[in-house]
Amino acid sequence: MLKEIRIHGRGGQGAVTAAQLLAHAAFIEGKWVQAFPYFGAERRGAPVKAFVRISDEPILVHSQVYNPEYVIILSPELMQVMDATEGLKKDGLVLMNTTKKPGEVNLKGWRIATVDATGIALELGLLVAGFPVVNTSILGAFAKATSEVKLESVLKVIRETWSGSAGEKNAKAAELAYERLIKGW
């Protein structure tokens, strides 16, 4: 069954990397995958979208994702300037990086899950150019919220992508987000 994911973030937050890591985690579990970005002028802080498709069969569609099952929001401030839930399927899930609980998020009609990925990054000192790294945390939360990929696969891909202490910090961030995810359903 084909599952589509749209990731919203700001340039520099790692939305594109998150998409690639998520697709890789699903791939090592034997699934067919696609991961690709969509953005305008490349600059830090500009809105960025990345897409992932996961399937048990070859994926023949090659357009951007218009009607995802899952939306991941790395920067909750984006909700003030765009509708990140546009096209989200009726029973879809919104996974948001925020300190709010799901019931405090001003979204109705979807399943909501939240995790403080920014807080986890700050707690671990996981910063790049002074900015908290939230993309690896959110992947741990996604694994728990959806069961589309296993946490073990996410951790393996993170450790393969970054060696040494960087890999361990990013893996720890994913583990903490997995543990601290709050489901609103």
Six token digits for residue 155: 């951790």
Predicted pLDDT at 185:
81
DSSP-assigned letters across all residues of 23-38: HHHHHHTT-EEEEEEE
Per-residue model confidence as pLDDT tens for the chain (185 residues): 999 999 999 888 899 999 999 999 999 999 999 999 986 665 677 788 999 999 999 999 999 999 999 999 999 888 888 889 999 999 999 999 999 999 999 888 899 999 999 999 999 999 988 889 999 999 999 999 999 999 999 999 999 999 999 999 999 999 999 999 999 98
Query: What are the two backbone dihedrals, phi and then psi, of residue 85, each rounded to the nearest 5 degrees?
Result: -90, 5
Beta-strand pair 70-73/3-10: parallel
- Superfamily of domain 3-183, CATH level 4: Pyruvate-ferredoxin oxidoreductase, PFOR, domain III (3.40.920.10)
Amino acid at site 118: T
- Under DSSP, the state recorded for 134 is -
How far from each other are the two terminal CA atoms of the chain, in whole angstroms? 23
